[in-house]
Every structure is written in structure tokens, then in C-alpha cells.
Chain A
Amino acid sequence: MTRLETLLIAVMAIWLLLTIVYQVFPRQLAPYTQRWDLFRWLPAYDLFAGTPRTLQLSFRDQLVDGSMTDWCAIEICSKHRWHHAIWHPEGRRLDVVGSLVDDLINIIENQSSSRSKEVSDRFVYLSILRFVLCLPRAERVTGRQFKIEQSEGYIATRPSKQLFCSRIHSYEAVCGS
């Protein structure tokens, strides 16, 4: 075996070993992989590990006269189509929005109420806000607010429960930045 072969085999062996260690200790190693694995060369295989939650993102607008419109639900998943098995370009964007909504709820649920003000400073919150504010709007709208509700899914025995409601954000403050 040449030196080059030995080197290349060693790289693959280390890569495989790190992959195994990362699957066994994902939480313990997460701070290190977040920091050092910039290109995400270490895969995470914990697919569909938890129980999926059905979270609904909705928004409503504030009009010039200060009144609010009705809540409008945002589709954060694409309706099932058989051709998505081959071609599903919008899936990635909707996946990201869905993950952001899920992450925001996890942050809210895992932090004490005394620190709740910080939520609106988080990148996750601001990204959802950016997404919501950039959706089409009428001319007489000055601000927008969003909320997140949880339901049991298609087949539900209980009504949806509101988990979070943002304050009203003006367009000039966020979309322009």
C-alpha cells in the first residue's frame, strides 16, 4: 500500500468513526459540531425521531385606522401531490419555515417566563417575522402580527391551542432592514 492510499484510507476511517460517535452522543457533541463542522460533513441520522407536531402559523394585519383584520392561515407545507416524489422545489423553503416555527416554540417552552422578552431578539423569531412581513399585503396596512397554534393534525379530537402570539410589527421597522 502506498503512502497516499494509507492517508486516504485513514481519512475515510476517521470520518466513519466520527460519524458513529456523533450518532451515539449527538447531544453531547452538538456544541462541538455546531462550532467546528461548518460544512456539516458529519451527518445526523436521527430521522423522524420525535413525535411530529402540527403547528399552524397565521397572521393578521393592522390597518391605517388601527383596526385589525381576521387571522389568515399560512400554508407551511405543500399539499400532497404525487409528482412531489420527483419534483418538489418549494419543499425546501417550506421545510425551513416549518423548522423555524418548531424551533421558536421549543425555545419558548424551554425558557423561563422572566426571559420571554428575549424571544423577539432571536434570529429564529426575526426570520419568521421576515417571512410573514414579506407575504402580500393590502395598501392600507401599517403593521402585521403572527401567531402559532398547535393542533392534533388532520384527525383532531380537541380544538387548536394558541402557543404564541407576537406583538404588532410595523413594515418600516423590519422589511427595510
Chain B
Amino acid sequence: MRLFVDPEQALAWITRLVAIGVLLDTLELVYCRKQFDDEQLFAWRWLRRSRFFSARRLFPHVVDLLLDRPLLIPLILVRGVSAVLLIVLPQATSSSTVALALVFAISSLLNLRAAPYGVDTPSRFTIVIVGALLLRGGAPGSPILAQVCLWFIALQACISYATAGMVKLFNEGWRSGVGLFNVANASTLGMPLRLATLLARHEVIGRGLTWFTIAMECAFPLVLLLPTPFSFFFIAWGLLFHLTIASLLGLNRFFWAWIATYPAILYVTQR
């Protein structure tokens, strides 16, 4: 089976998948638009009082105009429309480059706005992928730039898994084999109670899954070195891993951000 051997096809699918994530993010933000109201936690007049903004002189009039509610919601909608365009027309054209530029710029503004509370990982990762696609859009006819872009995205994914694995390896809780139970048992993370109960009753399963997670995350960069049939094992694990955390932890945006890198990984592994 040979998937995404054509760089243009791989890039089109990355564009499409990351755009689905952006669209989902847009719809969720619009659905929860009341959270931007003046008395709420995400009100601009509240966020600008944080040290992050008060200690900086970031063109206050421009920032106020862009990040306050009256213009914020239309900007979010523009990002959503750009995402739809990218889903429908993911090939590298001038219109898709404009759409990528809009998604990149508005997502950057949203990250800036969220900075006082900390920007969530999928938003940061999405910016990286969209940024790479945008840079590639700077010379859409260039085969070498297409390949560099695919390598960049594949390496970012590998670094993400390896880093997540290594930090777990340096944590005593994870090393002692109870890392997964601790996550399942933390009621504030939203996992179902029965999973914590299951892992508490069957410690061996918990320890095994904990070490399997660490091992797979640390070893994930091997996906780029192993021959094709073996690399599919990592891809299958990654898909299952993201489906599991999406369904158990409700981290739905992680799924689209990371799965969007898989066409790049598949392209690189088949080189």
C-alpha cells in the first residue's frame, strides 16, 4: 500500500485535515461567544489588565481594536470561512495561500489574546503546521520547497511525540508505572470513572499501558527510519492513541492537529 507518495497530494491532505481542526475550533468559539462578554473570564477588558499586556506597549489602539469583541467575532468567522475554502480547495493556489495567511494571522491573534491564561497545545501546534504550509505557499511551484515543508511537518510531529515521551520518562509517577492510572483517576481531567476503577483493579494492565505509551512516544521518530511495513505500526498506534485521548479526555482538537501531520510522515517514510 502506497499512500501520499506524491508531495502535492500529501500537502493537500495536510491542508485539508488542519483546516478541519481550524473550522472545528472556529465553530466552538462562535458557539461559546458569550465567554467574550464584558463580565466574563475571556473579556478583553479583563485580559488587558493582565501583566502580559499591561507590561507591554503593543500598539494599544490596534490591539484593542482587533482583540475586543466587536471585531473579534467577525475575525473568527473570517478564519472559519478561510478554513472551509482550504477544505474544498487544498491545492497550492494563490487563493489557498491567501486563506492560509488569514488563518495564520487570525490564529496568531487568538494566541496573543489567550496568552495571559496560557495558549493550549493544539492551537500552538496548528500554527506551526499552517505556518509551514504558508511558507510553502510563498513558492507554490517549487518541488524542493514542497519536500522541505513535508520534512518540517513530519519532524515537528516526531519531536512532539519524543518530547512527550521523554518528559514522562523523567517523571517518577510515570516511571513507576502508575502514570496512566493517575491521569484516569484525576476526576478533573474528565475521564470516565470506570477506567480508573479498571486500572486500579488490574495494576498489571495499568503498568503495561503506561510503559507502552512511554515507549511508543519515545520511539516514534523511528517511524522515519524504519521500512514501510514497520512504520505503519507507528501510524496505526498514533491514530489509535489520538482517537483514545479524544474520546476519553474530550481533547477533540488534538486529534485534527496531529493527524494532519500523518500524510507528511507517510510521505517521508516512503522516500
Contact = CB atoms under 8 A, between A and B. Distances in A.
Interface stretch (A59-67, A82-90, A112-120, A162-170): A82-90
B74 to A, nearest CB: 19
Contacts of A87: 24, 28, 252
Interface in B145-177: 145, 148-149, 152, 155-156, 159-161, 163-164, 167-168, 171, 173
Interface string A97-135: 111100000000000000000000001000100110010
Given A15-B128, A23-B163, A84-B252, 9 more contacts: A19-B156, A39-B127, A47-B121, A54-B187, A80-B248, A88-B252, A95-B120, A127-B117, A134-B40
Contacts of B112: 38-40
A77 B190 contact: yes
A51 B128 contact: no
Contacts of A159: none
Nearest to B129: A43
A32 interface: no
A153 B139 contact: no
Would you list the 8 A-B pairs with minimal beta carbon distance, nearest first?
A84-B250, A153-B185, A45-B163, A39-B108, A49-B167, A89-B28, A52-B186, A85-B247
A92 B190 contact: no
A43 B247 CA distance: 23
B140 to A, nearest CB: 11
A12 B152 contact: yes
Contacts of A5: 139, 142, 144-145
A1 B144 contact: yes
Nearest to B45: A177
Nearest to B172: A51
Interface string A6-45: 0011011001100110010000000000000011111111
Interface residues of A, number: 66
Contacts of A152: 185
Nearest to B138: A8
Nearest to B43: A130
Contacts of A48: 164, 168, 179, 183
Contact of A153 (B24, B121, B186): B186
B199 to A, nearest CB: 9
A31 B128 CA distance: 21
B18 to A, nearest CB: 14
Contacts of B119: 40
Interface residues of B, number: 79
A93 B42 contact: yes
Given A12-B148, A153-B187, A155-B197, A78 B250 contact: yes
Interface of B: 24, 27-29, 31-32, 35, 39-42, 46, 49-51, 58, 108-109, 111-112, 115-121, 123-125, 127-128, 131-132, 135-136, 138-139, 142, 144-145, 148-149, 152, 155-156, 159-161, 163-164, 167-168, 171, 173, 179, 182-193, 196-197, 200, 243, 246-248, 250-252, 255
B152 A96 contact: no
Given A8-B139, A39-B111, A84-B252, A45 B160 contact: yes
Contacts of A86: 246, 252
Contacts of A140: none
B164 A76 contact: no
A84 to B, nearest CB: 3
A134 B28 CA distance: 22
